[in-house]
Amino acid sequence: MFKRYSTSKFSVLAFMVCIGATLSLSSCGGFLDESPKDQISEEEAYPDAHNLFLGTVASLYSNIGGNSDSNGLQGTYRGVYDFNTFTTDEAMIPTRGADWYDGGFWQRLYLHTWNEGDGSLLATWEYLYKVIVLCNRSIDTIEKTSLLQNGQKREYIAEIRALRAMYHFYLMDMFGPVPIVTDPEATMGNVLQSRRSEVFSFVASELEETLPLLSAEKSTAKGQYYGRITQDVAAFLLAKIYLNAEVYRDDNTSDGKMPDGGKMTFTIGGKTMNAWEACLHYCGMLDDNYALDPSYSDPFTIYNESSGENIFTIPMDKDLLDNEFQYLFRTRHYYHGAALGCAAENGSCATVDAIAVYGFKGIDSPDNDLDPRFDANYYWGEVQDLKGNTIKTGDGSPLIYYPEKVRLDLSGSEWEKTAGARMRKYEVDPNALSEGKLQDNDIVLFRYADVLLMEAEALIRNGHDGSAPFSKVRERAGAPEREATMENILDDRLMEFAWEGWRRNDLIRFGKFTRSYSDRPALENESSGYTTVFPIPGNVLLYNQSMKQNPGY
Task: Report residue 12's pLDDT band, with 50, 70 and 90 as the boundaries.
Answer: very low
Q: Are residues 472 and 419 in the same domain?
A: no
pLDDT in tens, 193-233: 999 999 999 999 999 999 999 999 999 999 999 999 999 99
- 256-287 confidence digits (pLDDT tens): 999 999 999 999 999 999 999 999 999 999 99
pTM (2 d.p.): 0.95
Q: What percentage of the chain has pLDDT greater than the value 90?
A: 91
Q: In whole angstroms, how far apart are CA 291 and each of 59, 156, 296, 309, 311?
A: 31, 29, 12, 5, 10
Q: ∠ CA 255-260-261 to the nearest 5 degrees?
A: 130
541 burial via Cβ count (<10 Å: 0-12, 13-18, 19+)? middle
Work out the average pLDDT over 447-459: 99
Q: Residue 327: which of 66, 135, 536 has the closest Cα?
A: 66
Q: 411 and 95 in contact (C-beta within 8 Å)?
A: yes
Stated as kind and residue range, the H or E segment containing 400 is strand 400-401
Integer Cα distance of 44 and 19 in angstroms: 12
Q: Is residue 495 part of a domain?
A: yes
Q: Smallest Cα–Cα separation from 280: which of 245, 325, 327? A: 245
Alpha helices in 46-149 (DSSP H): 49-56, 80-85, 105-111, 119-144
Indicate if 454 and 420 belong to the same structural domain.
no
Residues 421 and 453 grouped into a single domain = no
Q: If you average pLDDT over every residue of the chain, what do you get? A: 93
Quick one: 403 and 366 in the same domain? yes
What pLDDT score does 39 carry? 61
Specify whether 418 is located in the same domain as 473: no
pLDDT in tens, 114-162: 999 999 999 999 999 999 999 999 999 999 999 999 999 999 999 999 9
Residues 352 and 394 in one domain: yes
Determine what percent of the chain is predicted with pLDDT higher than 70. Answer: 92
Is residue 513 situated within a structural domain? yes
Q: Rounded distance, CA 213 to CA 422, Å?
A: 42
Question: Whole-angstrom Cα distance, residue 10 to residue 236?
Answer: 25
In this structure, how many other beta carbons lie within 10 angstroms of the beta carbon of residue 407? 18
**Chain centroid to CA 143: how far?**
31
Q: Which amino acid appears at position 258 of this protein? A: M
Q: Does residue 384 form part of some domain?
A: yes
Give the model's confidence band at 41: pLDDT under 50 very low, under 70 low, under 90 confident, else very high.
Answer: low
User: How do beta strands 271-273 and 266-268 pair?
Assistant: antiparallel
Pairing relationship of beta strands 378-379 and 422-423 according to DSSP bridges:
antiparallel
Number of domains, the chain: 2
**Is residue 191 in some structural domain?**
no
Domain limits for position 402: 331-425
Measured CA to CA, the distance from residue 3 to residue 166 in angstroms comes to: 27
Residue 56 lies in a domain: no
Same domain as 534, residue 457: yes
Instruction: Check residue 34 and give its pLDDT.
Output: 54
For residue 23, pLDDT beyond 60: no
Residues 60, 18 contacting (CB under 8 angstroms)? no
pLDDT(22) > 90: no
Q: Is 299 inside a domain boundary?
A: no
Co-location of 469 and 538 in the same domain: yes
537 and 468, same structural domain? Answer: yes
Listed range (3-12, 122-131, 169-178, 301-310) with the worst mean pLDDT: 3-12
Q: Say if residue 347 is in the same domain as residue 414.
A: yes
Looking at the structure, do residues 467 and 538 belong to the same domain, yes or no? Answer: yes
Do the beta carbons of residue 64 and residue 54 sit within 8 Å?
no
**pLDDT tens digits for range 64-114:** 999 999 999 999 999 999 999 999 999 999 999 999 999 999 999 999 999
Same structural domain for residues 475 and 395? no
What pLDDT, on a 0 to 100 scale, did the predictor assign at position 42?
Answer: 67
Which of 18-22, 94-98, 188-192, 301-305 has the weakest average pLDDT?
A: 18-22
How many Cα atoms sit within 13 Å of 216 on the Cβ side?
Answer: 4
Asked whether residue 259 is assigned to any structural domain, the reply reads: no
- The predicted model gives 358-376 an average pLDDT of 97
**CA of 394: how far to CAs of 336, 386, 391, 397, 399, in Å?**
11, 19, 10, 7, 9
Range in 35-39, 388-392, 445-449, 530-534 the model is least confident about: 35-39
- Whether 434 maps to a domain, the answer reads no
Q: Cα dihedral sign for 257, 262, 265, 266?
A: positive
